[in-house]
Structure 1
Amino acid sequence: MPVLRPSRLHLTALHVCALLVCALAAPAFAAEPVAPAPPPIADFFDNTVFSDAELSPNGKFLAVRFSNDNKRDRLIVIDLASNATKVVAQFDDRDVNNFQWVNNERLVLDSTDKSIGQGDVVSGPGLFAVNRDGSNFRQLVHVNWAALKQHSVTRITLPPNHFLVRQKGAQASDDVYVVNPQRDGIRENGDTKYVNLIRLNTVTGRTETVNRPGPAQGWLLDHKGEPRLCITVEKNTQTIWYRDPSNNEWRTLASFDAYAGGKDAFTPLAFGPDGTLYVRSDAGKDKQALHTFDLVNKRISAEPLVSLTDYDFNGQLVTSGEKLLGVRYLSDARATVWFDSKMKTLQASIDAALPSTVNLVEPAARPDSPWVLVQSYSDRQPAYYALYNSETGKFIGVGGTHERIVPANMAERELVRLAARDGLPLPAWLTLPNTGSVDKDKRKNLPMVVLVHGGPYVRGNEWGWSADSQFLASRGYAVLEPEFRGSTGFGNKHYKAGWKQWGLKMQDDIADATKWAIAQGIADPKRICIAGASYGGYATLMGLVNDAALYKCGINWVGVTDINLIYTGHWSFASDMTAGYLKYGAPILIGDPDKDAAQLRATSPLQQAARITQPLLLAYGAADKRVPLYHGKKFRDAVIATNPNVEWVVYQEEGHGWALPKNRIDFWGRVEKFLGRHIGTP
């Protein structure tokens, strides 16, 4: 199978020939300037005006989430034949959040409040439905319990603990599905005992609960929108159940360890239009690939449909009508392999018009219209959406996610590959400052930030525009983001090599990537800072312990400071990590608190705090449920006893990251000043 790769040319024009009535203009691109002035912090970290778009099933209408003059996000529908626009949903005190088409005439949406942080959230997303002309608006799920108690009994409205299922199905009725998690205990974040799946009519509010085969944790609809798979978890055993369409009875397809996986493990992806189940599996090899699953004989296909040489398969099916058109996947960047010849030709035409970007083509659910939605991006261009007419070959601009960013002023980003000290291949993302027309040889011996991703058992990043790394590069810093062992997406060997390696070989990988950048002449060895959030914050602190001569300072936000605290917690606040994960998953991936007690003490930043003498910036959210504030407080109290150069900030209303623009801007302003003092250019 050919593996598509994005062009590495740099964006100079978007080739958009018209604008929609909603006045979302395409960005203009200027010639590359000489030593451009750094963009304001807000350009990177403000909320965006335009944030999403989706074609109706017949491709004749476009729904857009958009705000104006920093007001609330609202939902707009555009008639593509007439360019007529209509605001169909907006709230005075909330923002439109997720939305999707129910059918050609009706949409469903939930809400959020972008003006508050996690600590101030007292309501849920709710659920609402509306016709595309703005008529027949009704509330389906309440946003809080108080309102539910006051609501008229003549209206059928579900309690707040019901959430929209983001699976589209056939989009041919007035029905959608919602999930209703049932939690253990009285805590808001108590463990989920099981998740009910409920069919909901968006016009009448009528509901029907789907029979579940056990303690369901996940559901998968088929192409027609019918519940077809259920995933249950009991202790550490995950079972996948199939609902046979011949009798609507559940039967098991497979069982395996929910946390460690195994040779027979797979992840259900989607059902094709013909009922074929597509799954992601390594099939006993190193890399996961896209396979079909034999529902009768209960086995994975011997040969994959899509496999990638250097990456695990991660992607989705692209369908229209009753046809599988292609498969979208992630290698270094996102791309699509088309099985349909017309879509292959269409992709080639769009790529020829937009040669400097990755162009993701989204056809309508039913091929009744010539319009397709195109999302374009590059390392220097934030995501931009446009409509393309396959009959006329014309583009119509829709909107960009960071409209004030000028791509010509942004930095180049590439995936580099190096080797760890034990020979393990290590991918890493390298972003170098844009020096304009200045000699590129001067991009040597730079101050550098080693930015460590969280998780840690996730893929860290991909080729594309990143606010964090682009902001740092705009301030003159090289940015290195290692995909250390334990990161997913690069094969089983790479992933499992990180089990129980917090503060050990995972930390060595980060140091080895840093030393590679020094050896390449990229980084000034005297001006390197390590930084990261969550696990990245943990790795920042352990980097200062293990490799004190390598890193001159550290920035830790919302970071774990002691592995034992993950297990034992603290009286002041409860973590949202589930009991099942702490009992069955964490001991395998991170370390057993009893059997590995000595190792966990040796790799605890809290226990090693006296060894950290470099300047530190520590930032935490007071409402964080993943890494509660006591992690930061305990470490701060320990480190300041021997280190006078510690900066400390708590965002009272924030959780595990910064939801509010004012706090993102404040935090990155602090980062800019901190780096300027300790590794900036004299």
Structure 2
Amino acid sequence: MRAHIIFSTLIIILFLGIGCSSNKTERIPIESFFSTPEKTSFKISPDGKFIAYIGLDNHCKNIFLLNLANRDSSKQLTYQNDMNVNSFVWGDNKEIIFSIEQTSNDSLRLYSVNILTDSLQPLIKPMKAKFRWVQPAQLYDNGIIVAINNRDSSIFDLHKLYIDGRKSEMILQNPGNLNSWFVSNDGQVRLVMANDSVEESLMYRPDNQQPFHQVLKNDFGSTIIPMGFVKNSTTNIYALSNIGRDKLSLVEYDLNQKMEIHEVFSNKEVDLDRGGYSSFTNDMMYSSFTIFKKKRHFFSSNTAQIFKRITDKAKGSEFDIIDADSTFSKIIIRTYTDTNPGAIYYFDCQDNELHKLTDNNPNLKDRELSQTELVKYQARDGMMITGFITYPLHEKRKNLPVVVLPHDGPNQREVWGFDHEAQFFANRGYVVFQMNYRGSVGYGKAFWSAGFKEWGGKIQDDITDGVKWLIKEGIADKDRIAIVGKGFGGYSALHAACFNSDLYACAVSYSGYTNLFTYFRDIPPYVKPYLQKYYQIIGNPIRESGMFKQISPVFHSNRVKIPVLIAQGGKDRFSSVTDANQFVQKLKNNNIPVQYILKEEEGRTFKKDENVIQYYQELEKFLDKYIGN
């Protein structure tokens, strides 16, 4: 039974070799992280009998239908072959209303399709306009209410589009300051939000025949967000409000008495999330909030029991509610963890089972991926900043190359969950550092407003202080740190290249803002009613031109001392191609290594798979060159 010594030694060497190689992370193909999902936008009919979703046919997005009682009768509903279906809603149990994807030059197209007869009809003539769904988006007397800006590109009017052949009609002309509308179950538009410069007003009317009157007016820094009417009431609403408090809390508000009745639920640390209200039953089913992982507070034992049953079936995965039928007995969910993109299921309360509809990303389903951890650090002025670190697998957590990944916005927030981009970087051997700098939402209005007029100031300090914290903790190799971002994150990367070249080895900007003067000059017409808000949050380019020049990267290219990669869409309406070209040329003139990816046909976000993949291929090579192992 014993082998010769030399043979045993060979086996040991081979075993050790295998063991070492198994600890090296295999590079997962870029396509596995960033290719377009084949199935998205799952929505269930109000009666719970059908599920519709957007899938691919001949490289175009179309609507498909699942019959839950008879899968064999499932079918394709639309057959677009040159334009994509963009979004859809269930009008009722038989009709689906959908829109066709628009580029900046495309006309608005809205259609209805009957799931029983497959008959398809246009609801409007193609027009140069944008539209918004008005919630709850459903049919009222065979018509759906939508907001369209065809009369004036800067404002949206309410239109009712009919599926029975009647001509569409404008049912509410916008005087110029309305930005949100709320429809009650009988189809009456009783509630609207108005925006006047830096103030917002809640407006109410008892029915469609009466004029609106002002219920509440406040500065935009404080807000009330209607969730829906209280059951059996046309005067009381549930709303999220931070008026008179720092955090968004759930309240009941009386529109007749013009006063908050009581606070229903709140959390001391963070704002409450939107969601949890049923437009079918006019009930608040739950409130949710996110500190690390999402938590829910339930308002009925029945709802709590349903969520417990789903939690048990999800087997350790977190989940979000995507849609539900009118009785909340068939529920579509998305499962996920930080290391698993998860899947889409529907849960049937009758059979108590999760039925899989699709994997969110089958290419990553069985891959070993990296965990994401919550961290906190103190900025230089004492403010506590929350962040997330995703470590590469099989590496000691010391002296590692780092990708700093500030989020877009800044009116957004990073939360725990599956992040394709973070996993891509971690798979390449980099620590990924994401932070919720001041100005991020979710932590109350004091934290949010602390970022006002600090785009090039304290927000950037928060990012810098986080990087210095990583170095102090021994996590980061101080000579191998890159900053990568999109939109505001891209602006932060360019700002860092100009003013913090000593801290970073390289910088990457995807649709980043190079010139804040042109950022304001080129904003779309429908954003212009909010200009005064932008002046309060960012600054006024005329009155504060000195600050704008100081914080716009295009004026400080001579300070850049590190390699830069810039990716830009030719149709990006927030980031000027002319400014990007100028910035790139100045770097070339100064002999700074710079790479420029310009996709003329793309907008702020690359949509074509080949362009997305090329960007990440070039990004991968760029990082390998300047901070790679």
The alpha-carbon distance between structure 1 residues 407 and 214, as it changes in their structure 2 partners (threshold 3 A), is farther
2:399 counterpart letter in structure 1: N
**2:517 aligned with 1:555:** no
Q: Residues of 2 paired with 1:162 and 1:504: CA distance?
A: 35
Unaligned runs of 5+ in 2: 1-21
2:111 counterpart letter in structure 1: F
1:501 counterpart letter in structure 2: E
User: Of 100, 106, 114, which residue of structure 2 is paired with 1:111?
Assistant: 100
CA RMSD of aligned residues (A): 2.5
- The Cα of 1:639 is off from its aligned counterpart by 2.6
User: Of 198, 204, 224, which residue of structure 2 is paired with 1:266?
Assistant: 224
Equivalent position of 1:82 in the other structure: 70
Residues 249-297 of structure 1, C-alpha deviation per residue, up to 9 Å, x if partnerless? 321112334xx434xx423333344343122221322212122211112
Equivalent position of 1:167 in the other structure: 135
Task: Decide which moves more: 211-220 or 625-634.
Answer: 211-220
**2:400 aligned with 1:446:** yes
Equivalent position of 2:30 in the other structure: 41
The alpha-carbon distance between structure 1 residues 161 and 560, as it changes in their structure 2 partners (threshold 3 A), is closer
**2:349 aligned with 1:390:** yes
Equivalent position of 1:618 in the other structure: 566
- The Cα of 1:53 is off from its aligned counterpart by 1.0
2:228 counterpart letter in structure 1: A
Q: Residues of 2 paired with 1:604 and 1:307: CA distance?
A: 39
User: Of 112, 115, 137, which residue of structure 2 is paired with 1:129?
Assistant: 112
Equivalent position of 2:237 in the other structure: 277
* Partner SS state of residue 277, structure 2: strand
Matches within 5 A, 1:466-505: 466-505=419-458
- The Cα of 1:238 is off from its aligned counterpart by 3.0
Residues 408-447 of structure 1, C-alpha deviation per residue, up to 9 Å, x if partnerless? 42221233221101110101122122x2xx4x6x132211
Residues 519-555 of structure 1, C-alpha deviation per residue, up to 9 Å, x if partnerless? 2222111110011122212211221233222111100
Equivalent position of 1:11 in the other structure: none
Task: Decide which moves more: 311-320 or 510-519.
Answer: 311-320
Matches within 5 A, 1:521-560: 521-560=474-513
Q: Residues of 1 paired with 2:547 and 2:516: CA distance?
A: 10
Q: What's the % identity of the aligned pairs? A: 25
Preserved contact between residue 313 and residue 354 of structure 2 (Cα < 8 Å): no
Matches within 5 A, 1:363-512: 364-367=324-327, 370-406=329-365, 408-433=367-392, 435=393, 438=394, 442-456=396-410, 458-512=411-465
**2:200 aligned with 1:200:** no
Preserved contact between residue 529 and residue 679 of structure 1 (Cα < 8 Å): yes
Equivalent position of 2:533 in the other structure: 585
* Partner SS state of residue 591, structure 2: coil
1:102 counterpart letter in structure 2: G
Normalising by the residue count of structure 2, what TM-score does the alignment of the two structures yield?
Answer: 0.89
Equivalent position of 2:607 in the other structure: 659
The alpha-carbon distance between structure 1 residues 427 and 224, as it changes in their structure 2 partners (threshold 3 A), is farther
Normalising by the residue count of structure 1, what TM-score does the alignment of the two structures yield?
Answer: 0.83
Residues 347-382 of structure 1, C-alpha deviation per residue, up to 9 Å, x if partnerless? 111211213211234664422x84322221121222
1:136 counterpart letter in structure 2: S
- The Cα of 1:619 is off from its aligned counterpart by 1.5
Q: Residues of 2 paired with 1:51 and 1:387: CA distance?
A: 14
Equivalent position of 2:306 in the other structure: 346
**2:52 aligned with 1:63:** yes
- The Cα of 1:460 is off from its aligned counterpart by 2.9
Residues 305-357 of structure 1, C-alpha deviation per residue, up to 9 Å, x if partnerless? 23223211221233274351513534144454332222211211121121321
Task: Decide which moves more: 657-666 or 409-418.
Answer: 409-418
User: Of 214, 217, 221, which residue of structure 1 is paired with 2:179?
Assistant: 217
Preserved contact between residue 414 and residue 435 of structure 2 (Cα < 8 Å): no
* Count of residue correspondences: 603
1:546 counterpart letter in structure 2: F
The alpha-carbon distance between structure 1 residues 353 and 131, as it changes in their structure 2 partners (threshold 3 A), is same
Q: Residues of 1 paired with 2:118 and 2:546: CA distance?
A: 64
- The Cα of 1:452 is off from its aligned counterpart by 1.4
Equivalent position of 1:355 in the other structure: 315
Q: Residues of 1 paired with 2:481 and 2:168: CA distance?
A: 58
Preserved contact between residue 283 and residue 300 of structure 1 (Cα < 8 Å): no
Q: Residues of 2 paired with 1:413 and 1:87: CA distance?
A: 39
The alpha-carbon distance between structure 1 residues 273 and 206, as it changes in their structure 2 partners (threshold 3 A), is farther
